[in-house]
Chains A and B, each alone.
Chain A
Amino acid sequence: MRKGLISLCLTTLALSATAPVFAETTQADIDRGKELAYSRKDGNCLACHKMDDGKLTGNIGPELAEMKARFPDREMLFKRIWDETQFNPVTVMPPFGRHMILSKQEINRIIDYLYTL
């Protein structure tokens, strides 16, 4: 019960931050992030990226590994998932945030998961 309350508080904290600098990440956040990353109708990251234990992955984008080392700045990673066309106008990566494919919270959960890779 208390755990539930704490995680609720943390989630609320994470939800209220636009691009949170740091929020305590729970296992539930990571699990939700993986679910969103793998789901075809949400992130569908596997369509283009090899990652983790994903099956039948595409190879249009680079493999998603060592994410914390490659993107030490969480806010930068958030911005690139939000709209990669701002960084590379010819990318085929969908602007997940700008086009409302994923919400801010959903992108944050995916980042929680990506940082475990």
Chain B
Amino acid sequence: MKKPLLTIAISLALSAPLAVQAGEKEDFEELYAKAQSTHKDAGTFQWTVTGDRLKAAKSAADNGEHKKAKTMANEALKLAEESVAQRKKQQEAWRMVAIGN
């Protein structure tokens, strides 16, 4: 009677971290994909540092370092968002110091 309960308890205890890990992995993949597509949106205004973070995120994920992977992907996303903002802003702002109109 006690044994099955114990088995359930143990398997629950074991599966909990796995579930968390699986959740982290999904979170990471979503974040990473978003960072990648935002980086792509920057077009000819991509930043080298965004690419560096994306690479670091990927290799951390491949090594099973999920926390680091998420941090790197998150940084990549923020950098990519700024590069997109720069691209949009420069469509007009380039004229500010241009010689000739």
Contact = CB atoms under 8 A, between A and B. Distances in A.
**Interaction A to B:** yes
Contact of B75 (A90, A98, A100): A100
Chain A interface residue bracket vs B:
under 10
A98 B86 CA distance: 11
B54 interface: no
B82 A90 contact: no
B69 to A, nearest CB: 18
A90 B79 contact: no
B68 interface: no
A99 interface: yes
A99 B85 CA distance: 10
A100 B79 contact: yes
Interface in B81-100: 82, 93, 96-97
A90 B96 contact: yes
Contact of A89 (B75, B78, B82, B96): B96
A92 to B, nearest CB: 9
Interface string A57-97: 00000000000000000000000000000000110000000
A100 B97 contact: no
Contacts of B75: 100
A48 B79 CA distance: 24
A100 B82 contact: yes
Contact of B93 (A89, A98, A100): A89
A99 B83 CA distance: 8
B97 A98 contact: no
Contacts of B93: 89
Interface of A: 89-90, 98-100
